[in-house]
Structure 1
Amino acid sequence: MIQKCKLYKDISIKIIDDLNKGKLDNIERLLDERQILLEKEDNSSEFKKILMNDGILDIDKNIHKLLSENIDRVKCEIREHKRSERANNSYINFNKEKLNIFNEKV
């Protein structure tokens, strides 16, 4: 059980490292591995006690904070992309009206 706790903590630290480095591709796989470890554990109260004594709460809070920051950053990027796309579409539509000489009567 102690070995599973160590593996759980190692995976959690790997998640933090990947979030800090911007390697978001592996995050879902690592979170799934952690979840599998939790589901396989028979004596969850003892497992939880060992993890608590090992400082997993601080690590999990750090993961939560980093994930929230990454989500906020991606949301801002999406907003900027949409704004840029709208501006481009407006510019294109404006120029189409000016360039379309066949709509006017001569």
Structure 2
Amino acid sequence: MTVRSSKPWMGALVLAAAATLLAACGGGSLGGAKADGNGSAGDTVKVGLLVAKSGVYASVGRDMENGFKLYLAEHGQKLGGKRVELVEVDEGESPQSGVAGATRELLGVG
């Protein structure tokens, strides 16, 4: 028995966690945050979308990606009053490739 059937859940869970985190922050609490060393609040928040873009679950990943992009389009490309910089990453065929892709693209490491 393989664990591959749980891959769509992983992407959905990451998306739900990101949406919950941003919703919990709200516009008011984000406005007072210091985003850079100069003391000014940042206008953009970087959101990573880790979905299957290849392999068996590519169609599921494409649907999740299109759904998230549609939400952003309908809300002026903003979450919590901040403009969104969306970074899309392919989760790959294995957990190791997903971690490597996320580390490289989202965190700028590696």
TM-score range, shorter chain: 0.3 to 0.5
Structure ranking higher in helix proportion: 1
Structure ranking higher in strand proportion: 2
TM-score where L is the length of structure 1:
0.37
Q: Which has the larger radius of gyration?
A: 1
TM-score where L is the length of structure 2:
0.36
